[in-house]
Amino acid sequence: MYADDTHLTFASNNIETINDVMNHDLSNVKIWLTANKLTLNSSKTEFMLIGSRQRLGTYDTFPKLIIGGDIIKQVSSVKSLGVHIDENHSWSMHIEKIAKKNASGIGAIKRCRLFVNRTTLESVFNALVQPYFNYCSEVWGHCNKRLSNKLQKLQNRAARIKTFSS
């Protein structure tokens, strides 16, 4: 058995403190997993430092996190519960993924709109497009103006297609 989607967090400006606290917590997690007959796939285990580009650029060393003798690799982005998070919290990767999925869904709506009634078209929109705009928007919805405009253009395009304005 495996324990999926487990996250540990700790906040500090000091790399040594991060290293010590996180390695201690990882040791405790390993003990707990073993006691509960669970296995950690260390090849899928990753860590990410989150901060501004300027702050992350000031560090000349990074934590060396280890669990069960295996070194954990550092990543600059991760997908967690369907939300793409990067080390700078810029949301650009997440918005790119949403835009790509929605552009595909909008294309499907455009191709089928002449063959279905408005109610069906609305159902297709609600199934293929709208969920991506809504999912976890409370988390990423405060993205910058450029990213917000990108999504707004897609929503406008979908509205024009649904109303046969284009």
> Does residue 31 lie within any of the structural domains?
yes
pLDDT at 163: 86
Reference 27, options 62, 63, 64, 68; nearest CA is 68
The pair phi, psi for residue 5, each rounded to 5°, is 55, 45
> Does residue 130 lie within any of the structural domains?
yes
Q: Which pair of structure tokens corresponds to residue 126?
A: 């609600």
Question: Which stretch of DSSP H or E encloses residue 94?
Answer: helix 92-112
Residues 71 and 112 in one domain: no
Predicted confidence pLDDT, tens digits, the chain (166 residues): 455 678 899 999 899 999 999 999 999 999 998 999 888 888 888 999 999 888 888 888 899 999 988 999 999 999 988 899 999 989 999 999 999 999 999 999 999 999 999 899 999 999 999 999 999 999 888 888 999 999 999 999 999 988 888 7
| Secondary structure (3-state) at 164 | coil
66-67 and 70-71 strand pairing: antiparallel
Residues 63 and 104 in one domain: no
* Number of domains observed in the structure of the chain: 2
> Does residue 10 lie within any of the structural domains?
no
